[in-house]
Structure 1
Amino acid sequence: MRRSDLVLLMVAMIAAPARADDLTIVSWGGAYETAQNQAVIAPFAAETGLDVEVVVYDGSWTALAERGVPEGWDVIDMLADQARVACAQGLLLKTDPGALFAPEALADFTPFAPDGCAVPQNAYARVMAFDDRAFSGVKPTRIEDFFDTDRFPGPRAVQRSPDGILEWALLAEGVPPEQVYGLLSTDRGLRLAFRKLDTIRDDIVWWQDPATPAEMLADGRAVMAAGFNGRFFDMAQRERAPIDIVWDGRVIGIEVWAIAADTDAPDAARAFVQHAADPATMARLATQIPYGPTRRSAFDRIGINRDLGVPMRAHLPNAPQHVGRALVRDSGWYANTEDLRQRRFRDWLGDDD
């Protein structure tokens, strides 16, 4: 569907009477969904005249698979690796990217273009952050500092999961970013990563809720934390907590839009995905919340968050001005190693943890 076709479809939608079940969008809830509604969903509903309902799920492909995709779901916000698995399971509608976007638009996507089941929509990152009050002199500046308890003593808040921390362990061992996932695909790489984790085992405080690491830094339960850039941003900017983000070693994840295989509104779903992937729409979202656009042409459109008075480009994980090492989360590796990495992580934790 080209842009001209989208315009015609929107005209038809505006002319047609809206139904209560016109389009159901599945997202993650919280501040992210609020920003998404303001920047993406509400403008689409206003432009098309469609009734758009938003429902919340846990983000996993298994939520789609347990009883088939729940009836009425149309467009789903997913992590790229989860969409990859769901696509292979036949849970998502396959669409030719060339039918949705012109060649110049496809070339504008970064770090990768749409595929048959998913359209990249924003970038988030797993980052290291620290309590500025904990270090009066030298501050942490690189991912190696997360594992250096001599120079930077104190508890480290880490998700009770192998995700992200294994990449950091290899980076801290000097593995170049471009070799990390290849090495983690071997037994030697996994043993090296868990050996590095052994060096901070006694300093780890675990978290499960993504809101927790920022709270731990704010209330002094941890001096460093692994977590998501948006959560640290909110705690620092909205709550004025003395939290600093270290961009070195960031693991950039990509969220995508996918369409349920059994959607009752495929044309409206495709129109929404095109709207959401427009550079102006991506820029509006990034101005609301610090998740970066996945199209290069969107960056120059990102301005100041009016509620906070903060220029947002500096807080985006994929902003071109950030220095330090970065990895793009390898969706293929994550999709293919889920059972293996979870099993090895449980073995490392041991029965007493």
Structure 2
Amino acid sequence: MKKMLILSTALVATGFAASAQEVVVVSWGGAYEASQVEAYNKPFTEKTGIKVTMVAADNPASPLKAQVEAGNVTADVFDIEVSDAIRLCDEGALVEIDPAILPPAPDGTPAIDDFVDGALRDCAVANIVWGTVIAYDTTKFPNGQPMTAADFFDLEGFPGKRGLPKNAKRTLYLALIADGVPAAEIYDVLGTDEGVARAFAKLDTIKDSVVWWEAGAQPPQLLADGEVTMSTVYNGRIFDAIVAEGKPFDIVWDGQYMDLDMFAIPKNSPNPEAAMEYLKFATDTERLAGQASYISYGPARKSSAALVGKYKDGVTDMAPHMPTNPENMQNAVLDDPEFWADHDVELNELFNAWLAG
């Protein structure tokens, strides 16, 4: 992912505004953005003649909020997480989307019945299901490979530095999983003072061995550079490193954190009509299945599953690499956007205080 602030500043400084025949999409960069270009943007332009310009951000919700608050919206569609979609919609920053305008499944099933649970929100439509997983360098552990979240915290059995994201949402749950809390009980435990203390106590055991990351491109690079032997990472990023780049990495699916990404349109976007056409096109059955040929994120539509085939290499079956593969979901933590809407600020304050301590 590129640096968000540099890009958004550059857009504002140049007074950028899309023409009527252009849609500006803010996404996350890297292999994920590349998959969107191939699966969504190129066929959309071919069909409509409307150019699609991509802008990368570390977290697209941040420039979205900043642009709306500044009254200077320079992009049309933003790829954001569910909790951000709910919050920004509540704040009046997003255009409401009627599910009835979305294309039905090929068999005629209405969109509202075809998307997976939680994929349709008042102001956003999901495109992918993705996971934060543990990845490791297979060459670093000749005497046995890690298999569980608990192994991530076992510095004696599996020596080396660990990579973790610098935020509460994607660290506290993993500490609790590693400490024996079942995935289905994570939010009940994390909603208590005792549970939060338990998570930080577990993180204390590896704190001095953690390399903190903030952008999705960093964990595969940290592994490749030998700066860490294990790291949490977005599953599509590490798939790209393993399959496309041939890196000697592997995945531990135990305790994966599953989430959705969603397309949203800010109020007062430069081209709202074209933006809505892009959103409808990019979230139809064929396009979501097509994206799975380029990256291992699960389509947000049920009807897309049967169309998921091989990777672009024509050899690798994609289904086993999907976060939604039943074998990969055995101890998965599903994102709870309502929980994070209520606790995100508080837990991140505690997390930042812990980091500084």
TM range, normalised to the smaller chain? 0.7 to 0.9
Alignment of 1:129-168 (within 5 A): 129-168=135-174
Runs of 5+ unmatched residues, structure 1? 1-17
Alignment of 1:101-250 (within 5 A): 104-250=110-256
* CA distance in 2: counterparts of 1:28 and 1:212, whole angstroms: 13
* CA distance in 2: counterparts of 1:220 and 1:317, whole angstroms: 26
Structure-1-length-normalised TM-score = 0.87
- Of 19-28 and 208-217, deviating more is 19-28
Tell me the equivalent position of 1:45.
Answer: 45
The AA in structure 1 aligned to 2:129 is A
- Of 178-187 and 37-46, deviating more is 178-187
* CA distance in 1: counterparts of 2:307 and 2:200, whole angstroms: 42
Residues 11-69 of structure 1, C-alpha deviations (whole Å, 9 max, x = no match): xxxxxxx9654433222233322221111011112112223333334424342233426
The AA in structure 1 aligned to 2:93 is L
* CA distance in 2: counterparts of 1:346 and 1:26, whole angstroms: 27
Structure-2-length-normalised TM-score = 0.86
Report if the CA contact (8 A) 1:19-1:51 is conserved: no
Residues 226-262 of structure 1, C-alpha deviations (whole Å, 9 max, x = no match): 1111221222223322111011110012100111222
Residue 141 and residue 336 in structure 1: after superposition, are their counterparts in 2 closer, same or farther (change >3 A)? same
Report if the CA contact (8 A) 1:107-1:113 is conserved: no
Tell me the equivalent position of 2:301.
Answer: 295
Q: 2:76 aligns with which of 49, 74, 94?
A: 74
Aligned residue pairs total 334
* CA distance in 1: counterparts of 2:101 and 2:314, whole angstroms: 39
- Of 170-179 and 125-134, deviating more is 170-179
* CA distance in 2: counterparts of 1:146 and 1:26, whole angstroms: 33
Report how far residue 111 of structure 1 moved.
Answer: 3.5
Tell me the equivalent position of 1:274.
Answer: 280
Report how far residue 308 of structure 1 moved.
Answer: 6.8
RMSD: 2.2
Residues 205-239 of structure 1, C-alpha deviations (whole Å, 9 max, x = no match): 22333222222223332221111112212222233
Tell me the equivalent position of 2:25.
Answer: 25
* CA distance in 2: counterparts of 1:54 and 1:203, whole angstroms: 36
Matched, 1:304 2:319: no
Q: Percent of pairs identical after alignment?
A: 36
- Of 191-200 and 295-304, deviating more is 295-304
Residue 61 and residue 206 in structure 1: after superposition, are their counterparts in 2 closer, same or farther (change >3 A)? closer
Report how far residue 108 of structure 1 moved.
Answer: 2.0
